[in-house]
Amino acid sequence: MAAMDKVLVFDTTLRDGEQSPGCSMTTDEKLQMARQLERLGVDIMEAGFPIASRGDFEAVTAVAAEIRGPVIAGLARANEADIKRAWEALKGAERPRIHTFLATSDIHLQYKLRKTREEVLRMIREAVGLARSLCADVEFSPEDAGRTDLNYLVECCHVAVEAGATTLNLPDTVGYCLEPEYEKMFADVKARVPGAERVTLSTHTHDDLGLAVANTLAGLRGGARQVECTINGIGERAGNAALEEIIMALHVRQDKLGLETSIRTEELFAASQLLTRMTGVAVQRNKAIVGRNAFAHEAGIHQDGVLKNAITYEIISPKTVGMPSNEIVLGKHSGRHALAKRYEDLGYHLSKPEIERAYARFTELADRKKSIYDEDLLAIVHEGFDDLPETYNLTHFQNVTRSGGPSTATVELSRDGEVVRDSATADGPCDAAFRAIDRLTGLPGIIVDFAVHTVGPGTDGTAEVTIRARFDRLEFSGKRTGHNIVEAAARAYLQAANKALYELRSSARAERSADPVHANEMVNRMFPGGY
């Protein structure tokens, strides 16, 4: 049998995905995600856009320092400052890649860059040349390639290859292309750009018309051998092409496509879940491959067929993507070892202290619930074992609600052994709890997203509350489970506030040297007693 063509998987969850609203992550969260991407087997991970912010720079540096195996890419516009900053962040990587981009469509040249085609060609030559003088692995992206005049696109790609680009990525930046157009663009670039046979061609598609994954496959038909994508399809506007969908299309239809990747498909569900936990952004239930209903059969005829032989209605076995079963998995008498093993099966590689904490939560739950399902175990890890120090702990919570009347919440928090208590009244019980917490932390938040899910089947199931809130300019998420939804919401909100407090403290420390007066003012406002 002829050897199959290999497709490189370039994950940009931590860059294109993370820059979309509601998906920002702390450096620690990005590191956790990067470890899972490594387990998943991606070939390249784009860790961020180092010049965009201090946080992005730190995250790329941290990922570059720790992750071994995959190539680590950092994004840079086509100018000296961006490229040098990207290299500064990437240089500790085992296999660094500078990814530089410049728009090439007439629309972008005229309205955004206000540059001529000649000026843009010069900028590409200089930027790629500079990147190549620093790093042996350089990717160039003509932004908005999908709407770029084909002859000019060929010229731009030619200049980039001459200047030393090793990968050419042709993005459909605005999700405008139809499949035949996207396929043809690759075929034309491959045929017409001198030296194209020496570089890897890459797809990068957005989902504005719901065509991102289909266009990725079209790009592969046209000759691309790298795909850029994100977990759960997160990304600008309607998102990027979803990694799990591309991978499973290549896997299930290998007979027709004849392409293979290095992805370990059993890690897909864990990657999706981890991202949800990090960002607080859940996928819809019917999301292909990783949605809760992706393998659920509701219609009687379907259930009957699946019971007789799963092949009747299932083209993928849930196990192939690491989806947990709905069966009872553990009970009150299960030990730490069984728990650790079950987490391994679910794709979670917990450290010893994390197992200890999970076990404590598990035994608490097993006392109240007879049967523990995979979903319960996932809820426990999704609550997080964040290594971030919690500034405040909730030690007491009470709320009084009357239908038609206002609600009052009383919250007691402890911080470094000191206990503080306050109450607030609002129209609803959750709002009252959040306002009481705001009064105690001194950091008012605005709720951006609030979701409640039941955990596991049965009436003894607990509720999982996910909250995303904006504090100052920062957005963070918190997730807590419990029988009392209002209390779980208060705890989730406090978790998000603790993350914001931690981030503000770290920024204040960094700013102190640059702008001591402003930094001190900020610290005194948030932490009157010092930190």
* Site residues, ligand KIV (CB under 6 A): 16, 101, 141, 143, 169, 171, 173, 204, 206
Long-range contacts of 469-474 (CB under 8 A, 24+ apart): 469/434, 469/445, 469/493, 469/496, 469/497, 469/500, 470/445, 470/446, 471/443, 471/444, 471/445, 471/446, 471/496, 471/497, 471/500, 471/504, 472/443, 472/500, 472/504, 474/24, 474/500, 474/503, 474/504
Q: Name the segment binding Zn ion (CB under 5 A); options: 13-21, 208-216, 317-325, 461-469.
A: 13-21
Interaction partner, residue 143 (ligand KIV, Zn ion, none; CB < 5-8 Å by kind): ligand KIV
The whole-angstrom separation of Cα 134 and Cα 127 is 11
In angstroms, how far apart are the furthest CA atoms of the chain? Answer: 75
Q: Name the segment binding Zn ion (CB under 5 A); options: 8-16, 268-276, 354-362, 369-377.
A: 8-16
> Percent helix, strand and coil across the chain, each rounded to 5?
50, 20, 30
- Environment class of 388 (CB within 10 Å of its CB; exposed 0-12, middle 13-18, buried 19+): middle
User: Closer CB to ligand KIV, residue 148 or residue 279?
Assistant: 148
User: Closer CB to ligand KIV, residue 30 or residue 206?
Assistant: 206
User: Closer CB to ligand KIV, residue 43 or residue 375?
Assistant: 43
CB of 188 to ligand KIV, least distance (A): 19
CB of 206 to ligand KIV, least distance (A): 6
* Encoded tokens for 234: 């997160």
Report whether 331 contacts 371 (CB < 8 A).
yes
Report the SS3 class of residue 375: helix
User: Closer CB to Zn ion, residue 16 or residue 267?
Assistant: 16
Interaction partner, residue 203 (ligand KIV, Zn ion, none; CB < 5-8 Å by kind): none
Q: Name the segment binding Zn ion (CB under 5 A); options: 14-22, 61-69, 93-101, 360-368.
A: 14-22
User: Closer CB to ligand KIV, residue 143 or residue 155?
Assistant: 143
User: Closer CB to Zn ion, residue 203 or residue 462?
Assistant: 203
CA atoms within 13 A on the CB side of 180: 0
User: Closer CB to ligand KIV, residue 50 or residue 429?
Assistant: 50
User: Closer CB to ligand KIV, residue 127 or residue 365?
Assistant: 127
HEC states along 192-258?
A: HCCCHHHCEEEEEEECCCCCHHHHHHHHHHHCCCEEEEEHHHCCCCCCECEHHHHHHHHHHCHHHHC
User: Closer CB to Zn ion, residue 103 or residue 394?
Assistant: 103
Q: Name the segment binding Zn ion (CB under 5 A); options: 9-17, 242-250, 411-419, 426-434.
A: 9-17
- Environment class of 410 (CB within 10 Å of its CB; exposed 0-12, middle 13-18, buried 19+): middle
CB of 394 to Zn ion, least distance (A): 40
Interaction partner, residue 347 (Zn ion, ligand KIV, none; CB < 5-8 Å by kind): none
CB of 15 to ligand KIV, least distance (A): 8
CB of 144 to Zn ion, least distance (A): 10
User: Closer CB to Zn ion, residue 16 or residue 375?
Assistant: 16
User: Closer CB to ligand KIV, residue 16 or residue 155?
Assistant: 16
Report whether 42 contacts 9 (CB < 8 A).
yes
**b/e code 468-484 from CB counts within 10 Å (16+ = b):** bbbbeebbbbbbbbbee
Report whether 7 contacts 262 (CB < 8 A).
no
CB of 283 to Zn ion, least distance (A): 19
CB of 230 to Zn ion, least distance (A): 9
Interaction partner, residue 141 (ligand KIV, Zn ion, none; CB < 5-8 Å by kind): ligand KIV
Interaction partner, residue 343 (ligand KIV, Zn ion, none; CB < 5-8 Å by kind): none
Residues 350-369 contacting Zn ion, CB under 5 A = none
CB of 101 to ligand KIV, least distance (A): 4
Interaction partner, residue 101 (ligand KIV, Zn ion, none; CB < 5-8 Å by kind): ligand KIV
User: Closer CB to Zn ion, residue 16 or residue 207?
Assistant: 16
**Angle at alpha carbon of residue 246, lines to 243 and 247, rounded to 5°:** 80
Residue 16 is a binding residue for Zn ion (CB under 5 A): yes
Binding residue count for Zn ion, defined by CB under 5 A? 1
The whole-angstrom separation of Cα 457 and Cα 375 is 9
Phi, psi of 239 (to 5 degrees): 105, 175
Residue with the CB atom nearest Zn ion in the bound state: 16
CB of 151 to ligand KIV, least distance (A): 20
CB of 25 to Zn ion, least distance (A): 17
Q: How many CB atoms lie within 10 A of CB 167?
A: 24
> Residue 284: which residues within 8 A CB-CB, separation 6 or more?
291
CB of 528 to ligand KIV, least distance (A): 43
Interaction partner, residue 471 (ligand KIV, Zn ion, none; CB < 5-8 Å by kind): none
Strands 445-454 and 226-229: unpaired
Interaction partner, residue 295 (ligand KIV, Zn ion, none; CB < 5-8 Å by kind): none
Q: Name the segment binding Zn ion (CB under 5 A); options: 12-20, 122-130, 138-146, 209-217.
A: 12-20
Rg of the chain, C-alpha, whole Å:
25
User: Closer CB to ligand KIV, residue 120 or residue 486?
Assistant: 120
CB of 495 to ligand KIV, least distance (A): 31
CB of 19 to Zn ion, least distance (A): 9
Q: How far is CA 410 from CA 25, 407, 425, 436, 499, in A?
A: 31, 10, 9, 7, 22
- Environment class of 131 (CB within 10 Å of its CB; exposed 0-12, middle 13-18, buried 19+): buried
The residue written with tokens 């009244």 in the block is 425
Binding site for Zn ion (CB under 5 A): 16
